[in-house]
Amino acid sequence: MKREDCLGYCDTTGSWFRPRNFEIEIDTHLDKETYTKTLLHEMFHMKQFIDETLKTRWSKMYYKNEPVENYDYLDQPHEIAAREAEETLYKEYIRETDLTV
């Protein structure tokens, strides 16, 4: 993951059609806050796969039926949505668990 400059990823295992099995991998050398945010980010991708806004077809990823390869990585709409959700979910997690940021 370090070679790819990646903190984590989520992928389907088994069927690409209506996937229900997933693999999430996260860099184990992250501080607690970054690890938690990365986990929330990847779980949001899992939600996108479940609600079928994110799909893999013919080895290509689609977000709302548009190929994500049409965008630079940081501008891919499913990544933008996951980054926004990650921050919102992390703030909620901190509030719910009474932790300090």
- What total of structural domains would you count in the chain? 1
**Residue 10: CB atoms within 10 Å:** 21
- Can you give the residue range of the structural domain that contains 74? 8-97
**Is 3 a member of any domain?**
no
**Is 1 a member of any domain?**
no
Per-residue pLDDT band for 16 (boundaries 50, 70, 90) equals: confident
Is residue 1 within 8 A of residue 19, CB to CB? The reply is: no
> Would you tell me the crossing angle of helices 77-97 and 32-50 to the nearest 10 degrees?
120
**Is 37 a member of any domain?**
yes
Per-residue pLDDT band for 8 (boundaries 50, 70, 90) equals: very high
Judge whether residue 10 has pLDDT over 80: yes
20-64 pLDDT, tens per residue?
899 999 999 999 999 999 999 999 999 999 999 999 888 899 999
**Is 48 a member of any domain?**
yes
